[in-house]
């Protein structure tokens, strides 16, 4: 794996705008923008195949773990699962409520793969991973024998078709105050569902109503199928969660609460100790001794929030690139062993491996000068050569 600098494409900004990727120019603190035009990471075909296999293996391990937890009805306290959610978690699993997509985050040095977390409920970065970087690989010049690990778009359309019959009505919702990144991802997913011949409409989570029997939209139409770009743990804190019933099968399904929680990493390590794809991980216990270098992570957080570096029991403070948000502090923390990966031209890349259904469908990369990939990170395209 290597980071390469390439000539910028002509009119690349207009290309982004044309596909609805209008947040490509979100500013970073260093004066640059979110999309790094002219920057790419090169892989070999063998490396791509190894990353794909690792993603499929880890996904299967996560599903096995969820099945075991649900079968035993054993939800460790450090998952902080609301009691009210358990019936819906179990019913959604037992009724085989299907998932649409998810994203693994990997640390990778060109040889060793380590799972950092599984963004299994509300991952974003999808439009740029799918369409924007595919257009880049089609348009960029001077890279012979190139290809890209990216069948995300086609697999999403195929997945929608497998989930719903043509003409089915699907509502799509996100938080009203969410930024363009969230709404851009939501609208992209709506477009893939529309291309799968589904009937789609959007609304904010705040505008979902209840008519005494059904959740309804602003036209008082019953919401039968809802894709929500809104975390399950927030839903269970909302007043309207009192109307949720086990038969409500929203996307992502409620059983995904077990995979989108970083406590999953603790259970994976217990079940597969010293697995080459995993990092040693434990529930945070201030009375425990932590020799060596560790990362203290909140079990439920986004964009690299509330992450601290701990070395030999000494809290070294917030990891560079992290920020603090009160709401993420209340759920608890895990301790994950530090993994060192090489810098590339001063940048630290994190790999995103996208699952669509139960298959790995593509790769995306975010990079930064900081230890943590957060709000300030940059998106870089990738390709592989045979």
Alpha helices in the chain (DSSP H): 12-18, 45-72, 83-94, 126-127, 133-139, 152-163, 180-195, 232-235, 263-271
What global pTM score does this model have? 0.96
Q: How many angstroms separate the CA atoms of 136 and 148, rounded?
A: 10
pLDDT at 304: 85
pLDDT at 245: 85
pLDDT at 303: 81
- What is the mean pLDDT for each group of 10 consecutive residues in the chain (386 residues)? 96 97 92 95 98 98 98 96 96 95 97 97 97 96 91 98 97 94 96 98 96 95 96 94 87 98 98 98 95 96 89 91 83 96 93 98 95 88 94
pLDDT at 374: 80
| Secondary structure class of 186 (helix, strand, coil) | helix
List all residues 6 or more positions away from 25 whose beta carbon is below 8 Å from its beta carbon.
13, 33, 34, 35
Q: What are residue 150's phi and psi, to 5 degrees?
A: -165, 95
CA distances from 284 to 217, 258, 308 (A): 42, 18, 12
pLDDT at 349: 96
Q: How many angstroms separate the CA atoms of 296 and 314, rounded?
A: 11
What six digits make up the tokens of 221?
């139409």
Q: How many angstroms separate the CA atoms of 101 and 162, rounded?
A: 13
Q: How many angstroms separate the CA atoms of 133 and 193, rounded?
A: 20
> What ranges do the domains of the chain cover?
2-262+342-385, 280-337
Q: Which residues pair with 281 in a beta bridge?
A: 336
pLDDT at 247: 78
If one counts every other C-beta atom within 10 angstroms of the C-beta of residue 281, the result is 23
Q: CB of 40 within 8 A of CB of 349?
A: no
- The residue count for the chain: 386
pLDDT at 93: 96
pLDDT at 377: 92
pLDDT at 142: 83
pLDDT at 326: 82
């Amino acid at each position: 794996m290597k980071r390469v600098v390439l000539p910028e494409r002509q009119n690349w900004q207009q290309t982004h705008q044309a596909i609805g990727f209008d947040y490509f120019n979100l500013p970073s603190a260093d004066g640059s923008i979110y999309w790094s035009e002219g920057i790419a990471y090169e892989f070999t075909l063998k490396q791509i195949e190894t990353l794909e296999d690792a993603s499929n293996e880890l996904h299967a391990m996560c599903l096995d773990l969820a099945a075991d937890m649900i079968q035993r009805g054993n939800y460790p306290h450090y998952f902080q699962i609301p009691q009210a959610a358990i019936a819906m978690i179990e019913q959604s699993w037992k009724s085989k409520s299907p998932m649409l997509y998810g994203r693994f985050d990997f640390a990778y040095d060109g040889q060793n793969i380590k799972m950092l977390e599984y963004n299994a409920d509300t991952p974003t970065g999808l439009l740029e991973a799918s369409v924007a970087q595919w257009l880049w690989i089609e348009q960029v010049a001077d890279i012979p024998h190139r290809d890209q690990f990216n069948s995300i778009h086609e697999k999403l359309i195929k997945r929608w078709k497998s989930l719903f019959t043509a003409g089915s009505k699907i509502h799509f919702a996100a938080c009203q105050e969410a930024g363009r990144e969230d709404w851009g991802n939501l609208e992209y997913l709506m477009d893939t569902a529309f291309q799968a011949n589904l009937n789609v409409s959007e609304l904010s989570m705040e505008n979902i109503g209840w008519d005494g029997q059904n959740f309804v939209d602003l036209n008082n139409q019953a919401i039968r199928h809802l894709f929500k770009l809104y975390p399950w743990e927030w839903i269970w804190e909302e007043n309207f969660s009192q109307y949720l019933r086990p038969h409500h099968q929203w996307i992502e399904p409620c059983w995904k609460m077990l995979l989108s929680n970083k406590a999953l990493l603790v259970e994976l390590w217990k079940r597969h100790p010293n697995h080459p794809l995993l990092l040693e991980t434990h529930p945070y216990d201030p009375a425990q001794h932590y020799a060596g270098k560790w990362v203290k992570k909140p079990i439920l957080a986004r964009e690299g929030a509330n992450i601290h570096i701990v070395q030999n029991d000494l809290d070294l403070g917030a990891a560079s690139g992290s920020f603090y948000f009160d709401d993420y502090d209340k759920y608890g923390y895990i301790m994950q062993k530090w993994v060192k990966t090489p810098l590339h031209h001063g940048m630290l890349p994190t790999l995103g491996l996208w699952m669509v259904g139960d298959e790995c469908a593509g790769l995306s990369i975010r990079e930064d000068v900081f230890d943590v990939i957060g709000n300030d990170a940059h998106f870089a395209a990738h390709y592989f050569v045979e």
